[in-house]
Structure formats: structure tokens, C-alpha cells
Chain A
């Protein structure tokens, strides 16, 4: 059978056709093992030399699913081979030996073996070895290496091997099931999300500063932080986000940094919560995570913050600056821009109002064309509901958001303000879309004006759709308007982040700010920015001009989820704030 065929078979009928590499210097045992494996319907390759086995594996990493190796071999110690395979190819390895001594079993476990079988091997034991392949894959998908986890790696020495195997397998299955429930989205993380609260983040930042940003290593940070139940991995991923965030905001508004803590947290938290979006830092936050009460507001701020800096969207900054202040109004300086927003009855976020004041009309129109529907609306909604919504279609969220219920959104997202605006806007825009309540809510008359015009379903492309943002957002739309369009795709970007940015953006988009915001947001940058963009091009920050944004948004038409903002969202991360 050709390799391709093999693969096909393997994929379709797994575990039938699973490709096993068997290594044992003892010809008798090897022959028997080969036969047993064949009986289990696996595809078997054998070699009696460890070196040869390594060569085969190195030749093509994807050629095998599992390795079974004897412990005592003349040319290389089985444990050494085990280590190498684990490091280089990251394949599950099962040890085989006539040694029943627990010391050997322990050695196998510590060297990373998935299982340890005693000779003579019985077919019952081999029938279940495919579980290790599955386990490993799940682990990798989730970023969680589970190999060996749950696997006592106990030698199956007794007669109950069959039973023991079954039991273990059930145990594994159980574990798997639990995780499976948590992760509908293969990309989502399995392990329980760590919520990075403000305190926690502060500790983190303190540790990083102490170590020196360049030199900060997760392990050291973890030690310095001295927080129970926090793993190195948590710190590592948080650090990564943090770094990205800094990068994004660097050069961006420094002001945002002030608020960055919250932003960052929001962003990051959101991210985790959401679907594991690349940057959805705040995603989790938004919705509900509002881990820190202030977090909520953060998102919008974050977004704004981002918006501001790049293009001087100061307005945005305002938003971001005060997490609690309804984000939008973060930067007093740009309040001008935003203050429109403030005037709006943003829920939390004054920023929401910003939208109002902003030259929304333009944007809205533009936005409308895009498909902002969800983005804008979604944004506001998205935030709070982000997590929840995320998966849901954007449009749903959006509607909510746009509806202008600033607060209405299920999650009372602080960014409501923005949302509100968006809502209005979206209402106008996507009146068709739906649920948006008559824009009248905010003083978004302007907005509403827009909305009507747009009728496109803005429904908060970014935000609420939370999900759409994220997942949907696939930011694949690099559309210029990214931001606006991003809404659809951006959802993916960062659920949480976006919102903020969106939120913020929304406000920003309104007019001048939008441009600023938009421009500031590089899709990447503003994670939130992206959102904003979605909003309808407000953010188009990049677009620079509303027109562009509008156009882009129009083109974007992305599916709701697309919050192509994703780019933004992603960027949002940084924009959120440097939280540092």
C-alpha cells in the first residue's frame, strides 16, 4: 500500500491502519510483535536496530503514528531512543521489555513513554495502543501535552492486562470527554482558563520588570509571582500576549499604556475565554469576564487607545484610557472625537457616545455597506457577550449591539456605549438585520441616521457576534477596511479584543475618529481596532478615509464572523493597552 493510501486508510478507519514502527533487537520477539500488530490491523514496519528506526523516523516524520520499542538493545538504549523520538518527532512511544521492575517502568515514564508493556506481549494490550495516538493529538491541539497523562505507564504485567487496559482506557476516555466538552472548537484550549485579573497581571508585570523585559522567562516569572496553581504555560502564553501587546502599542499611544493593564488583561482574558483566538486578549474579558470590573470598559478603551495612537486617534485613546469610563472617552484629548460618544448614552462606555459624535454618518454609511452588521452591533454586544456569543453567529450579536442597547446586550458590555452607538448605527445600517432597537437610543441620531442608510446588517459585526468575531471573523479579509469588514472575520481575531476596539472604534469611526482610529488600528494592531473596523469601517483606521473604509467594508461583506477585524482584533491586543 502506498503511503498515501495508508494515510487515507488510517484517517478514515482509525485505528485500523495506524502506522506503527516496531523496534526490537530480538528477532523472535520482533516477529511475534509484528504479527500481533498485524492482527490488530495496524500497519507495521519493523527494524531490529534503533539507529535504523531513527533514520526511518527522521526521513519522514509523518510516516508513523506510533513507535513501540524494546528497552534493551545493543546499539542504543531504548530510553534514549524514546527521548529522541519524543523530542524530534513528538510521536507517542511505547516501551517494551521483559523487565517488570518498577524502576524501569518509572524510567520509561520519566523519559516520556506513553506506555510500558511487559514481554511477552499480548494482543489485548496492543489492541488499545491507538489511544496514545489520539491522546497525543488532542494534547497537541490543545496545547496541552497530555502524553503520559493519566497513563500510569504501568507495565501490564498481569493477567488483568486486558481489564487494566480497558480501565485505563475508560479513564482516558473520561478525561478526553471532559476536555472534549470544553473544547468544541479544536483550537480552543483545553485546560481551564486562567483568568488574569488585575492583581495577577500586576504581579506579572512586576516580575517582568524585575527580571527585565528582555530577559523575562516564563519560569522565572512564575517563580517571582509565586502564585499557586499558575503554571509555567499560563505565564508563557500570557507573556507572549503581553509582548505582542507591547509591540502593538509601542509607538502607539502611550496613553493607552496607562490603561493598558486593564486593556491588556481584558484582551488577554478575553482571548483565553474565547476561542482561543490569537489575540483575543480581551475577548474573554469582555463578555463577562469582566474579570476586573473595570475590564469591561476596558475593551472599548483598548480599542480606542489603539486607534488613537496610530493615527492620532486620540479620540480613541480616550476611550481606552479609562476602562471604567466607558472606555471610549479614554483620552480626554481626543475626547473631542469621542465626546460625541460621551454624549451618547453609552452604557458604560462613554465611548459609545463617541460614535455618535463622530462623523458617523459617513462611516455608517460605509459601514453599512460592508456588512457590518454584526460588527458594530456585535461589538457592543460582543463584548459582554462575547464569549458567549462568539460562537453564535455574529449577526445575532450584532443585532443586539446595534440595537443600541447599550446595555442591552446580553452581557451588558461596558462597551455598550460603543455598542450603542454602533447599535444605532447598526440599526440604521442593518435595520434589516434585526434586532437592533431603533437607534434612537443614544443620541445617535447621527448614527441612526447612518444606520438607516446602511441597512446593511452591521449588527455588530465585530462585537457581538462575539463569536462571529472570533470565529467568524476570520480576518481573512484583509480588506482595506478591515476594520469594518473585519467585523466579520475579525471576530476571529480576538473576540474580546475586538470588541473593545470595535467599540472604541465605533466611536472612532464616527467620524474623524474613525479615521484616526482606523488608521491607528492596523488590523493587527488594534485587535480592537480591527473590531472597529468592522464596525463599519469606522475604524478603518487604516483606511484613513471613511470612504476607503466604507468601500472596504462594502467589499468586505464578509461573513459575519469575519471580523476581519481579526486583524484588528489581533492587534487589539496591543491596543488594548500595554497594560503593563
Chain B
């Protein structure tokens, strides 16, 4: 079981869903904070869902206030990078680039990607955490390098 968990985690890294920041978070998990990583991930998804909604609404309005959009995305990018959501972060960067040049279509397109990556990561992490909990807290805390 633990091995399975480890493998899943490894694959997440390998596939680029997660980066070393996630490792940092795991380092912070200890006896005092046994579920730190999961807690943070949960927070992240909650926050980011809210942000995604805001961006969605802004885009649907069609007004394309690039500044505003950029601001949202900046925030989104910030928290994504904090948790180590690598692919999501990449898409965010692209979105901001389109905003910078005022490319509305590019924004729309990229945003779809952002949402997609975000959803994928969420699913994978949820699965991962579930398994980890089953396997035993200690194991998940440590990342086998």
C-alpha cells in the first residue's frame, strides 16, 4: 500500500504535475502537523476555485479588463506555485502573457487549459491523499527520493 502511494506520488512528479515546492511542504509535515500537506492542498483548491469563478465571470462578461484578469491570475499563480502545482502554474503564466499583450482569444483559450490542469491535479491529489491516509500518515510524510 505504501509502495503504491509512493509510486503515485512519484508519477505526479514525473509527469510534472507537482514540483519541488510540494516537497518543501512535505518537509513541513511532522508530528505536530501530521496532515499539513493535505490541509494546505484543501485550502488551495478552495481558494483557487473561488478565483477561477471570478475569472470565468469576468471572461463571460466579455469586457476583457486585462488588468483585472491579470490580477486574478497573479493571485492564482501565486498560490499554485506555493503548493507546487507545476502545470497549473505554467498555464497561468501563459494566461498572463496573453493578458499583457491584450489577446482576448488567447486568454480564453489558455484559461480553459488552466481549468483543465487544475481539475486534473485536484483529482490526482485527492486520490493520492486518500491512499496516503489509508497507508499510514508516516509514510506519506516522507518522500522517497
User: CB within 8 Å of B: which residues of A?
Assistant: 25-29, 31-32, 35-36, 38-39, 72, 97-99, 119-123
Question: What does the 1/0 interface line of B12-56 toward A look like (CB < 8 Å)?
Answer: 000000000100110110001100100110011011100000000
Residue numbers in B under 8 Å from A39 (CB-CB): 27-28
Closest 9 CB pairs of A and B: A98-B78, A28-B79, A28-B44, A120-B82, A35-B28, A120-B81, A28-B43, A120-B21, A29-B82
Residue numbers in A under 8 Å from B39 (CB-CB): 31
Stretch from B60-68, B69-77, B117-125, B127-135 that touches the partner: B69-77
Residue numbers in B under 8 Å from A72 (CB-CB): 71, 74-75, 78
Complex Cα gap A98–B81 (Å):
9
Complex Cα gap A98–B74 (Å):
7
Chain B contributes a number of interface residues (CB within 8 A of A) equal to 25
Residue numbers in A under 8 Å from B28 (CB-CB): 32, 35-36, 39, 123
B20 to chain A, nearest CB (A): 9
B102 to chain A, nearest CB (A): 18
Question: What does the 1/0 interface line of B77-101 toward A look like (CB < 8 Å)?
Answer: 1110111100000000000000000
Residue numbers in A under 8 Å from B36 (CB-CB): 35
A26 pairs with B71, CB closer than 8 A:
no
Show 19 A/B contacts (Cβ-Cβ < 8 Å), sorted by A: A26-B75, A26-B78, A26-B79, A27-B47, A28-B40, A28-B83, A29-B78, A32-B82, A32-B83, A35-B25, A35-B33, A38-B32, A39-B27, A72-B78, A98-B74, A98-B81, A120-B24, A120-B81, A121-B82
Complex Cα gap A119–B78 (Å):
6
B75 pairs with A122, CB closer than 8 A:
no
B24 pairs with A29, CB closer than 8 A:
no
A122 pairs with B78, CB closer than 8 A:
no
Residue numbers in A under 8 Å from B43 (CB-CB): 27-28, 31
A95 to chain B, nearest CB (A): 13
Q: Which residue of B lies closest to A35 (CB)?
A: B28
B97 to chain A, nearest CB (A): 14
Residue numbers in A under 8 Å from B44 (CB-CB): 28
B53 to chain A, nearest CB (A): 16
Residue numbers in A under 8 Å from B82 (CB-CB): 26, 28-29, 32, 119-121
A31 pairs with B40, CB closer than 8 A:
yes
Complex Cα gap A32–B32 (Å):
14
Residue numbers in A under 8 Å from B77 (CB-CB): 98
Q: A35-B40, A98-B78 are in contact. List 16 more A-B contacts (CB 8 A).
A: A26-B47, A26-B75, A27-B47, A28-B40, A28-B43, A28-B82, A29-B82, A31-B40, A35-B25, A39-B28, A72-B71, A72-B75, A72-B78, A98-B74, A120-B82, A121-B82
B83 pairs with A119, CB closer than 8 A:
no
Residue numbers in A under 8 Å from B47 (CB-CB): 26-28
Complex Cα gap A119–B44 (Å):
15
Complex Cα gap A343–B40 (Å):
87
Complex Cα gap A38–B47 (Å):
23
Q: Which of A27, A98, A122 contacts B24 (CB 8 A)?
A: A122
Complex Cα gap A122–B36 (Å):
16
B103 to chain A, nearest CB (A): 20
Complex Cα gap A461–B102 (Å):
79
A123 pairs with B27, CB closer than 8 A:
yes
Residue numbers in A under 8 Å from B24 (CB-CB): 120, 122-123
Complex Cα gap A29–B36 (Å):
13
Complex Cα gap A32–B85 (Å):
14
Q: Which residue of B lies closest to A70 (CB)?
A: B78
Complex Cα gap A39–B33 (Å):
11
Complex Cα gap A36–B21 (Å):
12
A122 to chain B, nearest CB (A): 6
Residue numbers in B under 8 Å from A122 (CB-CB): 24
CB contact under 8 A between A120 and B74, given known A26-B79, A36-B28: no
Q: Which residue of B lies closest to A73 (CB)?
A: B75
A127 to chain B, nearest CB (A): 13
Complex Cα gap A434–B78 (Å):
73
Residue numbers in B under 8 Å from A38 (CB-CB): 32
CB contact under 8 A between A99 and B21, given known A31-B39, A120-B84: no
Residue numbers in A under 8 Å from B71 (CB-CB): 72
Q: Which residue of B lies closest to A97 (CB)?
A: B78
Complex Cα gap A390–B75 (Å):
59
> Which one of B32, B40, B48, B71 has the greatest number of beta carbons of chain A within 10 Å?
B40
Residue numbers in A under 8 Å from B32 (CB-CB): 38
CB contact under 8 A between A32 and B78, given known A26-B47, A27-B47, A72-B71: no
A32 pairs with B40, CB closer than 8 A:
yes
Complex Cα gap A99–B78 (Å):
9
A102 to chain B, nearest CB (A): 16
B25 to chain A, nearest CB (A): 7
Q: Which residue of A lies closest to B28 (CB)?
A: A35
Q: Which residue of A lies closest to B45 (CB)?
A: A28
Q: Which residue of A lies closest to B25 (CB)?
A: A32
CB contact under 8 A between A99 and B40, given known A26-B47, A36-B28: no
Q: Which residue of A lies closest to B33 (CB)?
A: A35
Residue numbers in A under 8 Å from B46 (CB-CB): 27
Complex Cα gap A72–B84 (Å):
20
Residue numbers in B under 8 Å from A26 (CB-CB): 47, 75, 78-79, 82
Q: Which residue of B lies closest to A30 (CB)?
A: B43
A73 to chain B, nearest CB (A): 10
Complex Cα gap A38–B25 (Å):
13
CB contact under 8 A between A99 and B74, given known A26-B47, A28-B44, A28-B47: yes
Complex Cα gap A36–B74 (Å):
22
B37 to chain A, nearest CB (A): 10
Complex Cα gap A35–B83 (Å):
13
